[in-house]
Amino acid sequence: MIPKHAQFIAAIKEKKKVSVRFYSHADGGVVDRICAPMSYGAGELHDGLNRYWLWDYASAPESRTLGLVPQQIVDLQVLGELFDPTEFTTKPSLVSVTPAGGSPAAIAVPPAVRQVIKL
């Protein structure tokens, strides 16, 4: 755990954004991000490591979730700005579809499906 683990957990409960400085493997150096803290624990990865899970507002929409092991985190500061947990989900888009011989209809298509069928 990081030295500011208690502040991270409090930020989740109080729905406060955090400023996190961490070592990014992808960037090959230390980066700063404004994030919403989501949880601490194993999460989606099954490698036995607990991670600090954050919603990264600066990342591309399809990869906004950050899972950082404690050794990656250089510093964490709780900010006064609040976040809304509903930001963590991506809403489906309405797409107009005309079935063969039918009338046009609007259907909701989740982002993952849109990517697969390239809408």
CATH at residue 62: 2.30.30
CB atoms within 10 A of CB 27: 9
Please check whether residue 93 is in contact with residue 114, taking contact to mean a CB–CB distance below 8 angstroms.
Answer: yes
Q: Model pTM greater than 0.85?
A: no
Domain around 82: 5-88
Query: Do 62 and 99 belong to one domain?
Result: no
User: What pLDDT, in 10s, does the model give residues 29-76?
Assistant: 999 999 999 999 987 767 888 999 999 988 877 778 899 999 999 999
Q: What is the pLDDT of residues 68-116, one digit of tens each?
A: 999 999 999 999 999 998 887 655 444 445 555 555 544 444 444 333 3
User: Buried b / exposed e across 6-19, counting CB within 10 Å, b at 16+?
Assistant: eebeebbeeebbbe
How far apart CA 19 and CA 35 sit, in angstroms, is 6
The burial class, CB within 10 Å (0-12 / 13-18 / 19+), for 63 is: exposed
User: How many structural domains are present in the chain?
Assistant: 2
Q: Assess whether 94 and 106 both reside in one domain.
A: yes
